[in-house]
């Protein structure tokens, strides 16, 4: 578009008191083509807006630079429609409120900020949403036909969308179909599983296509455009879908590993799953002789909460054992169940069922098992009874039930090994190495994605393809593919149903957003997408390797094959590319590069160092605003540039800045490591690793590595900002001025 | 190593007044520390309940704790499972006595003095009661005993459970005595002391 | 405001906490029209008052910031603060809802310059910090407040003080003539995400909350640990502002208790463990004791329990504390209980005691009540026969943030289904 640019400076909120506005107008815009530069005492008020709207109307202004408050506020006020470019320059929180008024340094800061804003506006284009050539599908593939899978499909259908279920067994139902009864809200008594009704509703719904005895052979494509190859009873089928839900459930922990609890040794030691199947089939009896069960003992956490087996809690086993004790009681009112537990974990209203189990006379023993044995055809269990404070023996037991935990079906028996990179220290003799849990090559086969970064969803600890986020439990590392139910964490049926409904919501939403070219979470609403200038690509593979979402495939010659609908618009690929061939309409290497150049670097003898901080726009930038609101102050020599993610920082910016005489660069990003906070997974970590490589650049320029530093800063760490900046400025002072000044 | 014996729990559930209420105990221990006599008890109410669960008949019925409950209701109002702890403790005490478990001498002494005083004035005068109780074994023992309990005495005083002046007879003491006589006849035995 | 246009294809979300915000955004980002109402002057609800989330120990404002950004750019969501639902009539696919908006006395011209606060001399107990500090009667609810706009307390609106604030505002943002307004909405489905209240700890009389200054609740500790709290993030004793050397957490302070809340509040074990890490971070020498009945750390949250147990200065003691007495001179608190693992009597002194109070659901409080089902504790239950109004988050069960968000995402789809059925 032909830009007609105007600058509007608000002098309200102390901005006018802090700055020489006339000088700002002149110096801040001098190098740019600007139609107007006006100021107003109250730009966000009705008069100010009238002025803006009049200019837009009368003068055809289509690119508006608002030099006023932070972009985080008045976003709605300064929105002039989708066909206008609005660039916000922060003169309030990060200038007038955090710097002394009417000082030369404050003025220079404001002028730099305005120049950067003008530069950015010059390089910004209106995004044109991506539209694929093929037609988009809004159908949802559900892998797994258990309670979570069926619920997801049914809720998809009820909302008016089509669903496809692929179930490997010959009928739907999953584990729910193996159960005798369920215990759920309001947790007063046992209830029917409802599995038949659920299966019927799925099968009767014309919007749901069910493939049983089927597996997913391959999922290729991208959100809105997935092509799914299915093998169904030996035949091949293909479905086109827009999004995928993985509800592949769980398997019980292998009780053969629990020999110390008598499993495999005594016939009457069984697992809770075997108990459930026996109960569902009819009568609960002693497997050894088919006789009636009078006394039973449940060993809780059999394998769970145990660092040698499953370190996590399997969440459902307490309720399951209480339920199964109820089966016994219903079968024989004289039956007695002992529950040997670590903690009774009947969370929320489920506490009521604990009470019911107590009322039934079941005996709860807090402690740990030390031996399981047999004497005269009956089992006994020895345990440390914590509350009694002694070792005890529970004898004359007909049955011992091991409450074994849940293992996500995604978790492999053995960690797969892949060929290690050449210089890898941990590689074995054959040059192989274990794959990382968070790689797409770790999990058991379920989706068979045709993704360069592996065929399955990356997993977290213990093989759960869960979200890492508390606030965004559906934040997935494969766009448009959501895990639901017990594959992602151990959960009871009611929760698995809710989870499946939530996953269906996300899947539907993804297809809707994709169809209009919009990004999904966390940059929901973003209409830009990365464009590749392929002529200059050197096939270095950095973008395909570093994309946290596996959005970019490769052809056999290692050319990147972008899938824009898989993209989350973090721009990490842009940061990774040494040839700088990846750019967005409104975010590019040259755009930030030009902003860096717009900063005036004073001569060395002026003794005014210049430092640039590249800040994460989600966390560090709001923290700076907060510090301003709190009227904290810091060095006037630092210039802040918000970036989509620190992972989008291209090292050329560092080289450019330093070769222009900038004295130092500070990268302010999210926490990384195990509890990383980057919503693009690896952004801040990548920025940190890339920085290690910067030292080469610095060496080449004969500069000190102290000039570039990465700091972790959370959104609420604003109290630390003056300190962090102060320390860095001191360091820069120690190192001395950049010798490239004035070149 | 002790063996669990479920028969005792069954015996308690079926035969002891309010005995089946202890099924609901989740072993939080709030009763133990709520009890003003916890330091005097060989087992806290919670421990009694866990002993019943484990089948420790002798330990439970021979316990002094079940004889000591003063019905202050603190444990009962705090019990998160609303177990009528006092009724259970009294039920156990009665059950123990019926089965010839003998309370400790001082407990029996206390029970006797308590009963006597109720019979005499229709209410409890903590000062008079403790004097009679402690000096039953002679003057020296009495002084020792009182000193040993000065801590509790002070706390009772601070909580206004002991008043400085002597308590008077209640109105209608004659009727109360008739009731007590009847009660004694009905049970076949008197209070803990008789 | 009364001219807000909605149809029976719109979704109303009640409650602007994490659950409500999520339900609104998930529906809106799928293309549906959403109206969100929140009774506070800001969105964010209880999570805005939290210092960190367990188990990652990350700041809730990070996720809120993303969500607010999603709201800012999404024209499908309209939201109202200081708004409450007064009446609900109709049925699935066709509800009439009455909304009441309380006067804020500050209009959209507010630039957050802070002049009104500067001149205002009347102080109130700060509701955001549970009254642990004072705030001026013209104030910004907190630094991260969204929308970022001041509010004036009704107590000064008609007074000289109010006029003083009015005159101090250069932007004409203070409107002393504002009054309560009412308007009606037509919507097709309702998501009830009104959240929870902490159980009134003073009802557990033997813990002395309200009487002993150094007995506080878990929600109060979140504010003490936050930099934007009353102590700038330093965990100090309320009685004398001194640092702490011994801190006790009392679990199930009201929960799992038939005299109070018979259910388990689900999150308090993890919340206390998390708060123990706050204390340990600030005070390397401080001893922390956590008194519990059962530790309930489900799924991978068990890892957090394992991690906290590794800290030698954090001790877990299985005991329900039965009594607290205060040393009036020092403010120290003596806790009595029985260690149920050893049978020993506990008599321990602490500088600060934190009560892990539970969650009480905020029920639908309109009269007459719409056709919904609740359990005996007031939690909304899902009944397919009574579709159209869906609970989300802690109004359905006491639960943590991640589960609330899952639940709210599910509720958004249920609401869409109600619309799709029309």
Domain boundary among B53, B77, B98: B98
Given CA atoms A99, A100, A101, A103 in this order, what sign does their dihedral have?
A: negative
DSSP C172: -
Does residue B155 share a domain with residue B79?
no
CATH of the domain at B43: 1.10.1060.10
Task: Please state, in angstroms and rounded to a whole number, the distance separating the CA atoms of residues C266 and B141.
Answer: 54
DSSP C135: E
CB of A311 closer than 8 Å to CB of A437: no
Domain that holds residue B125: 105-187
Q: Taking 80 as the threshold, does the pLDDT of residue B191 lie above it? A: no
DSSP C342-360: T-PEEEEEESEEEE---EE
Cβ-Cβ contacts under 8 Å, B50 against chain A: 387-388
Model confidence at A743, in pLDDT bands (50, 70, 90)?
low
Task: Please state, in angstroms and rounded to a whole number, the distance separating the CA atoms of residues B132 and B114.
Answer: 9
Interface test with B, best of A353, A355, A363 (most B CBs within 10 A): A363
Q: Of A361, A382, A388, which has the smallest distance from its Cβ to B23's Cβ?
A: A361
Q: Of C65, C70, C401, which has the smallest distance from its Cβ to A715's Cβ?
A: C65
CATH architecture of C199-359: 3-Layer(bba) Sandwich (3.50)
The alpha carbon of residue A266 is apart from the nearest alpha carbon of chain B, in Å, by 21
Q: Of A349, A467, A715, which has the smallest distance from its Cβ to C59's Cβ?
A: A715
CB of A614 closer than 8 Å to CB of A668: yes
Q: Of A471, A508, A719, which has the smallest distance from its Cβ to C63's Cβ?
A: A471
* R_g of chain C, CA atoms, integer Å: 23
C260, closest residue in chain B (CA to CA): B80
Task: Please state, in angstroms and rounded to a whole number, the distance separating the CA atoms of residues A384 and A391.
Answer: 4
pLDDT in tens, A480-510: 999 999 999 999 999 999 999 999 999 999 9
Domain boundary among B74, B98, B122: B98
A380, closest residue in chain B (CA to CA): B3
Q: Of B39, B46, B80, which has the smallest distance from its Cβ to C340's Cβ?
A: B46
Nearest to B154 by CA among B36, B31, B33, B5: B36
The alpha carbon of residue A376 is apart from the nearest alpha carbon of chain B, in Å, by 16
pLDDT in tens, C94-121: 999 999 999 999 999 999 999 999 999 9
Residue B182 lies in a domain: yes
Interface test with A, best of B3, B4, B25, B43 (most A CBs within 10 A): B4
Cα separations in angstroms, A527 against A207, A517, A584, C63, C73: 31, 6, 10, 21, 11
Domain boundary among B98, B114, B139: B98
Does the CB of A352 have a partner CB in chain B at under 8 Å? no
Nearest to C359 by CA among C225, C207, C198, C214: C198
Query: Exposure of C43 by Cβ count < 10 A (0-12 exposed, 13-18 middle, 19+ buried)?
Result: buried
For the residues C357-382, what does the mean pLDDT come to?
95
Instruction: Decide if C340 and B38 are in contact by the 8 Å CB cutoff.
Output: no
Residue B194 lies in a domain: no
Does the CB of A385 have a partner CB in chain B at under 8 Å? yes
Cβ-Cβ contacts under 8 Å, A361 against chain B: 9, 13, 23
Nearest to A689 by CA among A649, A729, A731: A649
Q: Percent of chain B having pLDDT more than 90? A: 48
Average pLDDT of chain A, as a whole number: 96
Instruction: Decide if C323 and B27 are in contact by the 8 Å CB cutoff.
Output: no
CATH T-level assignment (fold) for domain A252-405: FAD/NAD(P)-binding domain (3.50.50)
The alpha carbon of residue B99 is apart from the nearest alpha carbon of chain A, in Å, by 24
Instruction: Decide if A363 and B3 are in contact by the 8 Å CB cutoff.
Output: no
For the residues C78-97, what does the mean pLDDT come to?
97
DSSP C214: T
Helix (H) or strand (E) holding C36: strand C33-37
The model's pTM: 0.94
Please name the residue that has the structure tokens 């023993």.
A365
Q: How many beta-carbon contacts under 8 Å exist across A and C?
A: 246
Task: Please state, in angstroms and rounded to a whole number, the distance separating the CA atoms of residues C223 and C202.
Answer: 19
Q: Taking 80 as the threshold, does the pLDDT of residue A549 lie above it? A: yes
Instruction: Decide if C346 and B33 are in contact by the 8 Å CB cutoff.
Output: yes
CATH T-level assignment (fold) for domain A140-249+410-515: FAD/NAD(P)-binding domain (3.50.50)
Dihedral angle computed from the Cα positions of residues B34, B37, B41 and B44, in that order, rounded to the nearest 10 degrees: -10
Average pLDDT of chain B, as a whole number: 87
What is the per-residue pLDDT for B187? 66
DSSP A177: G
Q: Of C260, C293, C336, which has the smallest distance from its Cβ to B28's Cβ?
A: C293
Task: Please state, in angstroms and rounded to a whole number, the distance separating the CA atoms of residues A41 and A662.
Answer: 34
C419, closest residue in chain A (CA to CA): A159
What is the per-residue pLDDT for C1? 47
The alpha carbon of residue B34 is apart from the nearest alpha carbon of chain C, in Å, by 5
Task: Please state, in angstroms and rounded to a whole number, the distance separating the CA atoms of residues A290 and A287.
Answer: 5
Instruction: Decide if B80 and C318 are in contact by the 8 Å CB cutoff.
Output: no
Q: Of A354, A364, A395, which has the smallest distance from its Cβ to B3's Cβ?
A: A395
In three state form, how does the secondary structure of A249-269 look? CEEECCHHHCHHHCECCECCE
Does the CB of C266 have a partner CB in chain A at under 8 Å? yes
Task: Please state, in angstroms and rounded to a whole number, the distance separating the CA atoms of residues A517 and A522.
Answer: 15
Please name the residue that has the structure tokens 């109130």.
C124
B40, closest residue in chain C (CA to CA): C345
The alpha carbon of residue C395 is apart from the nearest alpha carbon of chain B, in Å, by 23
CATH T-level assignment (fold) for domain C10-102+180-195+362-420: FAD/NAD(P)-binding domain (3.50.50)
CB of A154 closer than 8 Å to CB of A202: yes
Q: How many beta-carbon contacts under 8 Å exist across A and B?
A: 50
Q: Of C262, C266, C299, which has the smallest distance from its Cβ to A489's Cβ?
A: C299
**Alpha helices (H) along C39-94:** 60-72
Kindly report the CATH number that applies to the domain delimited by A1-126.
Answer: 3.40.50
Here the tokens at position A681 are 């997974």
Q: Taking 60 as the threshold, does the pLDDT of residue B188 lie above it? A: no
- Long-range Cβ contact pairs of C237-241 (< 8 A, separation 24 or more): C237/C213, C237/C331, C237/C351, C237/C352, C238/C132, C238/C213, C238/C214, C239/C213, C239/C214, C239/C331, C240/C331
Query: Exposure of B14 by Cβ count < 10 A (0-12 exposed, 13-18 middle, 19+ buried)?
Result: exposed
Residue B192 lies in a domain: no
CA C256 to chain centre: 21
The alpha carbon of residue B44 is apart from the nearest alpha carbon of chain C, in Å, by 8
Angle (CA) A529-A533-A538 rounded to 5° is 120
Nearest to B142 by CA among B151, B131, B153, B150: B131
In three state form, how does the secondary structure of B32-74 look? HHHCCCHHHCCCCHHHHHHHHHHCCHHHHHCCCHHHHCCCCCH
C251, closest residue in chain B (CA to CA): B28
Does residue B92 share a domain with residue B74?
yes
Q: Taking 50 as the threshold, does the pLDDT of residue B194 lie above it? A: no
Interface test with B, best of A322, A385, A395 (most B CBs within 10 A): A385
What is the per-residue pLDDT for B193? 37
Could you tell me the residue ranges of all domains in chain A? 1-126, 140-249+410-515, 252-405, 531-583
Q: Taking 80 as the threshold, does the pLDDT of residue A397 lie above it? A: yes
Helix (H) or strand (E) holding A393: strand A390-397
C51, closest residue in chain A (CA to CA): A716
Instruction: Decide if C338 and B39 are in contact by the 8 Å CB cutoff.
Output: no
Instruction: Decide if C345 and B78 are in contact by the 8 Å CB cutoff.
Output: no
Neighbouring chains of A at 3+ CB pairs under 8 Å are: B, C
Does residue B92 share a domain with residue B115?
no
Q: What is residue B77's three-state secondary structure?
A: helix
Does the CB of C337 have a partner CB in chain B at under 8 Å? yes
Neighbouring chains of C at 3+ CB pairs under 8 Å are: A, B
What is the per-residue pLDDT for A579? 96
Nearest to C87 by CA among C185, C220, C217, C218: C185
Instruction: Decide if B9 and A391 are in contact by the 8 Å CB cutoff.
Output: no
Helix (H) or strand (E) holding A63: strand A63-68
Q: What is residue A582's three-state secondary structure?
A: strand
ipTM surpasses cut 0.95: yes
Instruction: Decide if C407 and A498 are in contact by the 8 Å CB cutoff.
Output: yes
Q: Taking 90 as the threshold, does the pLDDT of residue A424 lie above it? A: no
Does residue B119 share a domain with residue B91?
no
Neighbours of C114 (CB within 10 A): 18
Task: Please state, in angstroms and rounded to a whole number, the distance separating the CA atoms of residues C212 and A7.
Answer: 59
For the residues B153-182, what does the mean pLDDT come to?
84
Does the CB of C328 have a partner CB in chain B at under 8 Å? no
Nearest to C47 by CA among C9, C25, C17: C17
CATH T-level assignment (fold) for domain A531-583: Alpha-Beta Plaits (3.30.70)
Could you tell me the residue ranges of all domains in chain C? 10-102+180-195+362-420, 115-168, 199-359
B78, closest residue in chain C (CA to CA): C259
Q: Taking 80 as the threshold, does the pLDDT of residue B186 lie above it? A: no
What is the per-residue pLDDT for C3? 62
Instruction: Decide if B53 and A393 are in contact by the 8 Å CB cutoff.
Output: no
pLDDT in tens, A508-543: 999 999 999 999 999 999 999 999 999 999 999 999
Range in A155-169, A266-280, A700-714 with the lowest mean pLDDT = A700-714
Task: Tell which A residues from 395 to 414 touch B, by Cβ distance under 8 Å.
Answer: 395
Does residue B54 share a domain with residue B84?
yes
Q: What are phi and psi of A101, to 5 degrees?
A: -70, 155
Task: Please state, in angstroms and rounded to a whole number, the distance separating the CA atoms of residues B25 and A702.
Answer: 75
Cβ-Cβ contacts under 8 Å, A397 against chain B: none
A717, closest residue in chain C (CA to CA): C227
Helix (H) or strand (E) holding B179: helix B173-187
Average pLDDT of chain C, as a whole number: 96
Q: Taking 90 as the threshold, does the pLDDT of residue C280 lie above it? A: yes
pLDDT in tens, C286-338: 999 999 999 999 999 999 999 999 999 999 999 999 999 999 999 999 999 99
Does the CB of C319 have a partner CB in chain B at under 8 Å? yes
């Amino acid at each position: 578009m032909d830009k007609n640019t105007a600058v509007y400076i608000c002098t309200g909120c102390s901005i006018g008191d802090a700055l020489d506005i006339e000088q700002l107008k002149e110096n801040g815009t001098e190098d740019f083509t600007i139609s107007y530069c006006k100021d107003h005492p109250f730009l966000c008020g009705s008069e100010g807006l009238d002025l803006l709207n009049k200019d837009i109307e009368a003068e055809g202004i289509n690119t508006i630079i608002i030099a006023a408050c932070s972009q985080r506020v008045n976003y709605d006020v300064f929105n002039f429609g989708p066909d206008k470019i609005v660039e916000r320059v922060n003169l309030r929180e990060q200038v007038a409120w955090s710097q002394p008024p009417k000082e030369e340094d404050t003025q220079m800061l404001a002028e730099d900020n305005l120049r950067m804003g003008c530069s950015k506006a010059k390089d910004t284009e209106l995004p044109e949403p991506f539209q694929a050539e093929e037609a988009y599908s809004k159908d949802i593939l559900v892998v797994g036909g258990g309670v979570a899978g069926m619920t997801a499909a049914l809720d998809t259908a009820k909302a008016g969308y089509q669903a496809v279920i692929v179930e490997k067994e010959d009928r739907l139902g999953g584990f729910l179909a193996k159960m005798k009864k369920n215990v759920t809200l309001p947790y007063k008594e046992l209830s029917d599983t409802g599995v038949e009704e659920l299966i019927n509703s799925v099968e009767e719904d014309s919007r749901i296509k069910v493939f049983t005895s089927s597996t997913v052979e391959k999922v290729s494509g991208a959100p809105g455009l997935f092509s799914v190859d299915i093998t169904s009873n030996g035949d091949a089928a293909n479905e086109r879908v827009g999004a995928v839900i993985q509800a592949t459930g769980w398997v019980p922990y292998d009780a053969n590993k629990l020999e110390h609890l008598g499993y495999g040794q005594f016939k009457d030691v069984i697992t809770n799953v075997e108990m459930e199947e026996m109960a569902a089939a009819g009568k609960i009896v002693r497997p050894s002789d088919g006789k009636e069960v009078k006394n039973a003992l449940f060993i809780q956490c059999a394998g769970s909460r145990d660092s040698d087996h499953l370190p996590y809690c399997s969440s459902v086993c307490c309720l399951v054992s209480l339920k199964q004790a109820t089966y016994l009681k219903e079968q024989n009112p004289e039956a007695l169940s002992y529950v040997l537990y670590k903690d009774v974990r009947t969370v929320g209203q489920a506490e009521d069922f604990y009470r019911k189990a107590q009322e039934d006379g079941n005996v709860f023993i807090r402690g740990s098992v030390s031996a399981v044995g047999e004497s005269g055809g009956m089992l006994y269990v020895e345990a440390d009874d914590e509350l009694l404070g002694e070792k005890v023996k529970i004898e004359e037991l007909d049955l011992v039930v091991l409450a074994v935990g849940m293992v996500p079906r995604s978790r492999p028996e053995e960690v797969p090994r892949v060929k290690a990179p050449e210089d890898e220290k941990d590689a074995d003799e054959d040059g192989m190495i274990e794959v990382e849990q968070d790689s797409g090559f770790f999990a058991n086969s379920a989706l068979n994605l045709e993704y360069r970064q592996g065929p399955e969803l990356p997993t977290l600890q213990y093989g759960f393809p869960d979200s890492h986020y508390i606030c965004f439990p559906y934040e997935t590392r494969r766009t448009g593919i959501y895990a639901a139910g017990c594959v992602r964490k151990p959960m009871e049926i009611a929760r698995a149903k809710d989870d499946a409904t939530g996953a269906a919501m996300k899947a539907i939403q993804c297809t809707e957003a994709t169809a209009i070219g919009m990004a999904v979470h966390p940059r929901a609403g973003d209409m830009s997408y990365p464009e590749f200038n392929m002529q200059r690509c050197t096939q270095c593979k950095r973008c395909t390797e570093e994309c946290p979402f596996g959005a970019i495939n490769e052809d056999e010659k290692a050319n990147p094959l972008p899938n824009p609908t898989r993209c989350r618009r973090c721009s990490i690929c842009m940061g990774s590319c040494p040839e700088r061939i990846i750019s967005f309409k409104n975010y590019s290497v040259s755009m930030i590069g030009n902003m860096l150049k717009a900063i005036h670097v004073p001569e060395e003898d002026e003794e005014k160092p210049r430092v640039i901080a590249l800040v994460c726009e989600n966390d560090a930038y709001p923290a700076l605003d907060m510090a301003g609101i709190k009227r904290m102050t810091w060095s006037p020599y630092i210039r802040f540039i918000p970036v989509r993610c620190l992972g989008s920082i291209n090292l050329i910016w560092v080289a450019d800045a330093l070769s222009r005489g900038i004295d130092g660069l500070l990268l302010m990003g999210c926490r990384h490591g195990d509890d990383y906070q980057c919503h693009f997974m690896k952004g801040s970590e990548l920025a940190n690793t890339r920085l290690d490589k910067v030292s080469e650049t610095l060496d080449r320029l004969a500069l000190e590595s102290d000039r570039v530093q990465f700091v972790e800063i959370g959104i609420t760490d604003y109290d630390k900002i003056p300190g962090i900046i102060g320390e860095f400025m001191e360091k820069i002072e120690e190192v001395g001025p950049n010798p490239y000044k004035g070149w | 190593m002790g063996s669990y014996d479920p028969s005792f729990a069954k015996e308690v559930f079926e035969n002891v007044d309010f005995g089946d209420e202890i099924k609901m105990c989740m072993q939080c221990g709030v009763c133990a520390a709520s009890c003003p006599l916890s330091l005097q008890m060989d087992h806290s109410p919670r421990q009694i309940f866990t002993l019943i669960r484990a089948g420790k008949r002798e330990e439970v019925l021979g316990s002094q704790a079940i004889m000591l409950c003063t019905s202050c209701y603190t444990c009962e109002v705090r019990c998160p499972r609303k177990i009528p702890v006092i009724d259970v403790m009294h039920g156990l005490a009665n059950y123990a006595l019926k089965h010839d478990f003998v309370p400790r001498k001082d407990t029996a002494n206390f029970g006797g003095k308590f009963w006597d005083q109720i019979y005499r004035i229709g209410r409890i005068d903590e000062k008079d009661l403790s004097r009679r109780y402690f000096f039953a074994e002679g003057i020296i023992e009495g002084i020792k005993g009182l000193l040993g309990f000065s801590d509790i005495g002070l706390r009772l005083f601070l909580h206004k459970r002991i008043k400085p002046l002597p308590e008077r007879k209640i109105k209608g003491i004659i009727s109360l005595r008739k009731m007590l006589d009847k009660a004694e006849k009905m049970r076949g035995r008197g209070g803990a002391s008789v | 405001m009364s001219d807000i246009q909605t149809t029976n294809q719109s979704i109303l979300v009640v409650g602007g906490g994490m659950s409500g915000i999520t339900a609104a955004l998930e529906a809106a980002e799928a293309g549906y029209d959403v109206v969100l109402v929140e009774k506070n002057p800001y969105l964010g609800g209880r999570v805005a008052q939290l210092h960190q989330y367990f188990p990652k120990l990350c700041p809730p404002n990070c996720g809120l910031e993303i969500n607010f950004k999603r709201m800012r750019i999404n024209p499908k969501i309209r939201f109202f603060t200081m708004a409450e639902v007064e009446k609900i009539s109709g049925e699935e696919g066709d509800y009439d809802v009455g909304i009441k908006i309380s006067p804020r006395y500050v209009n959209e011209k507010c630039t957050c310059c802070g002049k009104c606060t500067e001149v205002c001399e009347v102080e109130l107990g700060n509701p955001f910090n549970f009254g642990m500090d004072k705030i001026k009667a013209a104030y910004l609810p907190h630094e991260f407040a969204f929308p970022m706009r001041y509010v004036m307390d009704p107590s000064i609106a008609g007074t000289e003080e109010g006029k003083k604030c009015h005159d101090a505002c250069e932007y004409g943002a203070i409107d002393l003539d504002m009054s309560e307004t009412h308007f009606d909405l037509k919507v097709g489905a309702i998501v009830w995400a009104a959240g929870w209240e902490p159980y009134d700890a003073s009802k557990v009389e033997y813990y002395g909350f309200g009487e002993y200054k150094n007995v506080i609740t878990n929600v109060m500790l979140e504010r003490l640990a936050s930099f934007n709290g009353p102590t700038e993030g330093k965990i100090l004793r309320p009685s004398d502002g001194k640092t702490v050397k011994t801190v006790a957490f009392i679990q199930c302070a009201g929960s799992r208790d038939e005299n109070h809340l018979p259910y388990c509040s689900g999150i308090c074990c993890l919340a206390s463990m998390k708060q123990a890490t706050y204390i340990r971070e600030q005070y390397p020498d401080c001893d922390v004791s956590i008194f519990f009945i059962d530790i309930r750390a489900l799924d991978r949250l068990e890892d957090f329990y394992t991690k906290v147990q590794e800290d030698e200065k954090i001790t877990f003691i299985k005991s329900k504390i039965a009594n607290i007495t205060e040393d009036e001179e020092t403010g120290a608190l003596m806790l009595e209980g029985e260690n149920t693992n050893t049978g020993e009597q506990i008599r321990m002194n602490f500088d600060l005691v934190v009560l892990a109070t539970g969650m009480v659901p905020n029920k639908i409080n309109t009269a007459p009540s719409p056709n919904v089902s609740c359990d005996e504790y007031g939690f909304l239950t899902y009944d397919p026969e009574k579709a159209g109004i869906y609970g989300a988050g802690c109004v359905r069960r006491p639960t943590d943030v991640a589960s609330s968000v899952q639940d709210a995402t599910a509720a958004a789809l249920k609401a869409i289904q109600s619309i799709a059925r029309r």
